[in-house]
Structure 1
Amino acid sequence: MAVLFEIEHITTYKYANPVTFGTHKAMFLPRPAAQGRLIDWSVRTNPPSRIRWTSDALSNNVTTMEFSEPGKELSFAFRFKGIHFGAKGVENFPLERRAEEIPVQYSLEEWTDLLLYIRPHTEDPDASVAAWAKSFIASNRTSDVLLRMLDAFRDTFRYNAREAEGTQSPGETLQSKSGTCRDYAWLMIEALRRLGFGSRFVSGYLYDAALDGGQVGMAGSGATHAWLQVFLPGAGWMNYDPTNRINAGYDLIPVAIARHPGQAIPLAGSWFGEAGDYLGMSVKVTVQKLGDVSDPSEA
């Protein structure tokens, strides 16, 4: 099944007086992958900017924008249209026998390639994240452990959207039992790494059909979203979204993958002026399905 979709991502910063702007970098274009294809994309900024298209060491698309004019407002309008491939309702997937129970037995080649995704990135001074991870091992079956962890986010955590930038430490999210999609994903990644799983952070967009009908959507829809991928021999990199308890990912459109959230920031840059000049920001993300595509070559 293929879906034709369009995404518009508009970010606006406002200032009390004219300020100058440093270089900004954005990650908004989906990654090159078998699950999708880009048809058209554009960037518009105000003030105008010099735009360059590059990629980082993990093959994420990066848009670099350089400004020469000051202003009291800085706006970015990112738009792209693409095709997303997948099959709905696919939650069961085959695993090789060496991946059916934890710890997963990665091959030497896999271990070499996955090492940076297996090794924990953050400190766990009170061992609370490690203890929380081990609490899900009622049985050693890989699929059971992953699903029980998803259930814990749904049943015992409270989604808490916030405007402040950055990602909480796994320990902070665990202690408060609340956070954003980035916080949830980062806690689950670091917990799984302590169980020996190769796990990586994913930033992107969530298509939610409920929004097309004006209904209340899933948490994270209508904004940039974050989840994680776990490498399971026999299945490959599998999506897990602890915010919405999704473990298939048909509606997830990946933009950037990373070892840690700091490598996958949707928009980052600098400005120069008085501290009191900054008045705030607004973000609007629209993910719209344009139709089903029976033959992608006709899109």
Structure 2
Amino acid sequence: MRNLVQFDISHTLRYRYSRAVFLEPHELRLQPRDAAHQRLRSFALSIEPEPAGRSQMLDAEGNSLVNIWFDGLHDELLLSVRSRVETRRTNPFDYLLQTERHGLPLRYDAATEAVLPLESRRRTCFGEGEGSPGTDEVAAFTERLARDQDRQLVPFLNALNQTIYDDFEFLRREEGPPWSADRTLAGKRGACRDLAVLFIEACRSQGAAARFVSGYQEGDPDQDHRDLHAWVEVLIPGAGWRGFDPTHGLAVGDGHVEVAASVLPALATPVIGSIRGTGATAELETHITIDVGDLAWEEIQQVPQQQQQQEPGRGPADGRG
């Protein structure tokens, strides 16, 4: 019996302020998604100082969002998250394509077109010059790849993924918004979020809906420093949203944990908020640990059975029935 992968994740974000400040309302997107390709088994969020109020909801793109607001002045904000997630996509190519809809430029059926967010297919230069049209260089780069792959969607996506991985230098860049696709293409280098934006614009130039994803990646278990990771999802007819990680040259399977996905990278940011205080500055310190282990199907199936035995007449404790 095949095994699944279980992630135990600890993530802390500590904001220190140079003087006591008033914390404006903050948006938190820190809870991993619960979806077909991954199951959220547990999640705990601790906030210090205790907010005056909080409200949990889904945002417009289905991400878990917590709004928090505060009273008084504070010189520090500490957010601590613990998550346990099972990833279930052992084969990232477990789908049957709609053969009539996999040529480029891509055309979706009328029902899909009606519900797709417009921004998922509009070319934009994220980060610097956000909202401006992409350049001819990005279009030409993409067109060459599409032509070399006989204008077939999945071969094009795989070639794009591998080309960025092979030909671009990875940079560790901890601050700032994503670079535009133009800048990343011209310099042949970028952080994971920069490479993701280039991938997104390349897909959109061929009519494929694409969105930005933030989350965690399995990585090297011996590495000392962990960061949030960024990759891309593309809407493939017959397969749904499927992940591609150009930083590692991978089709996304069970080695990634998705936290937030958005057609706009800014809306996949884990924390959005501001402070009020004359002359105050902020310093962010983050710490992430990830423990990864195998989990047999039998272990997964046992959990709800045990819960049902303990609480007759009720579904599993996670409320999903």
Give the TM-score taking structure 1 as reference length. Answer: 0.88
Aligned 1:201-280 pairs, distance under 5 A: 201-208=212-219, 210-211=220-221, 214-215=222-223, 222-275=226-279, 277-278=280-281, 280=283
Structure 1 pair 238/131, CA: closer, same or farther in 2 (3 Å)?
A: same
TM-aligned CA deviation for residue 129 of structure 1: 1.6
1:144 corresponds in structure 2 to: 155
Measure the CA separation in 2 of the matches of 1:206 and 1:133.
27
2:288 to 264, 285, 290: 285
Structure 1 pair 92/37, CA: closer, same or farther in 2 (3 Å)?
A: closer
Deviation per residue, 1:145-167 (Å, 9 max, x gap): 21221122112211112232322
Aligned CA-pair RMSD: 2.2
Contact 1:124/1:130, CA 8 A, preserved across alignment: no
**What secondary structure is seen at the aligned counterpart in 2 of 1:135?**
helix
1:129 to 114, 122, 138: 138
Contact 1:4/1:293, CA 8 A, preserved across alignment: no
Structure 1 pair 52/12, CA: closer, same or farther in 2 (3 Å)?
A: same
Measure the CA separation in 2 of the matches of 1:175 and 1:92.
35
2:113 corresponds in structure 1 to: 111
1:53 to 56, 65, 84: 56
Pairs aligned (count): 290
Structure 1 pair 15/118, CA: closer, same or farther in 2 (3 Å)?
A: closer
Contact 2:32/2:83, CA 8 A, preserved across alignment: no
Deviation per residue, 1:3-31 (Å, 9 max, x gap): 33221111112223222211111111122
Measure the CA separation in 2 of the matches of 1:29 and 1:112.
29
- Given the alignment of the two structures, is residue 73 of structure 1 paired with residue 84 of structure 2, yes or no? no
2:9 to 1, 7, 10: 7
Measure the CA separation in 2 of the matches of 1:195 and 1:227.
18
1:298 corresponds in structure 2 to: 302
TM-aligned CA deviation for residue 195 of structure 1: 0.8
TM-aligned CA deviation for residue 61 of structure 1: 0.2
- Percentage identity across paired residues of the two chains: 28
Letter in 2 for 1:285: I
Structure 1 pair 125/185, CA: closer, same or farther in 2 (3 Å)?
A: closer
1:44 to 43, 46, 51: 46
Structure 1 pair 153/2, CA: closer, same or farther in 2 (3 Å)?
A: same
- Given the alignment of the two structures, is residue 179 of structure 1 paired with residue 185 of structure 2, yes or no? no
1:63 corresponds in structure 2 to: 66
Measure the CA separation in 2 of the matches of 1:176 and 1:97.
37
Structure 1, unmatched stretches of 5+, are none
TM-aligned CA deviation for residue 125 of structure 1: 5.6
Structure 2, unmatched stretches of 5+, are 126-131, 304-321
Contact 1:228/1:240, CA 8 A, preserved across alignment: yes
Deviation per residue, 1:20-66 (Å, 9 max, x gap): 21111111112231222223222212222233211111111001221
Deviation per residue, 1:75-105 (Å, 9 max, x gap): 11111223222215x4474322223432234
Measure the CA separation in 2 of the matches of 1:22 and 1:293.
45
**What secondary structure is seen at the aligned counterpart in 1 of 2:291?**
strand
**What secondary structure is seen at the aligned counterpart in 1 of 2:247?**
coil
Measure the CA separation in 2 of the matches of 1:293 and 1:63.
32
- Given the alignment of the two structures, is residue 166 of structure 1 paired with residue 177 of structure 2, yes or no? yes
Query: Which runs of at least 4 in structure 1 moved beyond 3 Å after TM superposition?
Result: 90-94
Measure the CA separation in 2 of the matches of 1:76 and 1:132.
41
TM-aligned CA deviation for residue 215 of structure 1: 4.8
**What secondary structure is seen at the aligned counterpart in 1 of 2:251?**
coil
**What secondary structure is seen at the aligned counterpart in 2 of 1:145?**
helix
**What secondary structure is seen at the aligned counterpart in 2 of 1:191?**
helix
Contact 2:208/2:234, CA 8 A, preserved across alignment: yes
Letter in 2 for 1:51: R
Measure the CA separation in 1 of the matches of 2:242 and 2:44.
30
Structure 1 pair 84/280, CA: closer, same or farther in 2 (3 Å)?
A: same
Measure the CA separation in 2 of the matches of 1:126 and 1:104.
20
Letter in 2 for 1:283: T
Measure the CA separation in 2 of the matches of 1:259 and 1:126.
19
